[in-house]
Amino acid sequence: MKIKLSDGQRFGLMRRTVRSWPFAGLAATSLALALAGCSGANVGGPPTPVPVGTAPTAQAAPGSGTTIGTGSVKVALILPLTAGGAAGNTATVLRNAAEMAVAEFQNPDITILVKDDGGTAAGAQAAAQAALQEGAELILGPLLAESVRGAAAVARPAGKPIMAYSTDTSVATRGVYLMSFTPQNTVDRIVQHAAQMGKRSYAAFVPDSAFGQVVQGAFQEAVSRSGGRVVAIEKFPLDPAGVTAAAARLSGIAGQIDAIFVPDPYDGAALRALSAANVDIRRVQVLGVGPWVGNRAAAQAAPSALYAAPDEAGFQNFAGRYRARFGQDPARIASLTYDSVSLVAALVRTQGTQRFSETVLTNSSGFNGVDGLFRFRADGSPQRGLAVIQAGGRVVSPAPRTFGGGS
């Protein structure tokens, strides 16, 4: 059985039978959603909570207290609209992306209640309380980890799920799902690819930072799962002299490794330092993650380096439409809000009263959006289908179109 609605965007739906239900939403980019638990789904188109207590009322903000859409099903969008700085600016872009998703989806039966959390846990708690009192069935956002904890303290006891935009996996839990790209996902993908290339002995050259600490742990776990071994790990400080000194400490093991993980190329300085330390980055495969995207200096220093990231074609399509509508470039994570709103609209259209149930949200086939394939694990963490890309931009291993069996 097939249901086809108007416009060009296709959402592939799979029930627990083997029938697929493609249905439409908007024109131009593909956000295809594959729903349900059959394996190999045909995807069309593209810790402790804070105490609840008595929370302060969230401040009104530009866009806060407003609504997007006029449908019968209410969901909340909680963002740090008054946080100022980068967080506030990003919040505005995410709100715009939500507006765009509603406009481009064909007649969505949703109303988004826009709430400001001010970038704080207390603000998010207050915003979530207000949204649930107004009838929200699900919460999109917050953006910041502490705000996610604040909102979850209200939403989880009420049985209302959250799709949050934080990259901090410590806030993920049952009923609190992360839409984001996590370091664990990208590291897993690039190490998996390296293992398929026959790489077994690894070193890591990581920045001495919070990011470096996270990716180092993910790297060690991924290598262990792949059956490889980590010969050495060296941390470098974020200053040129420190980078050079740290790289020199790896010179003694250069002949023992066939791949080196450099998550942050430090605009090529990390790579040049490794070369100066007699680590032959033409023989030793350099592996990277997100900071490599568009990094021309790194690409020039190690043109054969590989990194894991979403295929940019879908985002570039989305970004072009965003520019046409709002006259500016979107933040890179704007696609997360766009996809989450489109997903919610699709679930409302197809899943009836079970639309936001754990079974539907954690189906093993997952969903396919602007940035490709993704799904939510039962513990709230995300899994994404990522491409492996050479430093110059060539895709050497495309993102998967479907997930394997289980989650």
Q: Which amino acid is at 352?
A: G
Which pLDDT score, from 0 to 100, does residue 63 have? 55
Q: What are phi and psi of 73, to 5 degrees?
A: -100, 125
Q: Is the pLDDT of residue 52 over 60?
A: no
- Compute the CA torsion angle 335, 337, 341, 342 (nearest 10 deg): 10
Find out whether 361 and 268 touch, Cβ atoms under 8 Å.
no
Amino acid 3: pLDDT: 23
Task: State the DSSP H helix or E strand holding residue 196, giving kind and residue range, or none if neither.
Answer: helix 183-196
Average pLDDT in the chain: 85
What residues contact 150, with CB distance under 8 A and at least 6 apart?
Answer: 50, 55, 117, 120, 121, 122, 123, 124, 125, 128, 142
| Percent above pLDDT 70 for the chain | 84
pLDDT in tens, 89-100: 999 999 999 999
Strands (E), 329-381: 367-369, 372-376
Region 68-84: mean pLDDT is 97
Which DSSP state fits 227?
A: T
Residue-level pLDDT at 65: 79
* Size of the chain, expressed as the number of residues it contains: 407
| pLDDT (average), residues 236-242 | 90
Confidence of residue 120 (pLDDT cuts 50, 70, 90): very high
Q: Higher-confidence residue: 26 or 148?
A: 148
Confidence of residue 31 (pLDDT cuts 50, 70, 90): very low
Taking 60 as the threshold, does the pLDDT of residue 237 lie above it?
Answer: yes
Q: What is the H or E stretch that residue 211 is in?
A: helix 210-226
For helices 334-350 and 312-326, angle between their N-to-C axes, nearest 10 degrees? 90
Residues 135-158, mean pLDDT to the nearest whole number:
98
> Which residues lie below 8 Å from residue 339, measured CB to CB, with a gap of 6+?
31, 101, 179, 367, 369, 370, 371, 374
pLDDT for residue 118 is more than 60: yes
Q: Which helix (H) or strand (E) holds 311?
A: none
Supply the pTM of this predicted model. Answer: 0.82
Position 58 scores a pLDDT of: 33
Residue-wise pLDDT for 178-216, tens only, equals: 999 999 999 999 999 999 999 999 999 999 999 999 999
> pLDDT by residue (tens digit) across 270-314?
999 999 999 999 999 999 998 899 899 999 999 999 999 998 899
Label residue 406 by pLDDT band (50, 70, 90): very low
Where helices occur in 70-170 by DSSP H, the ranges are 85-104, 121-133, 145-158
CB atoms within 10 A of CB 158: 11
Position 43 scores a pLDDT of: 25
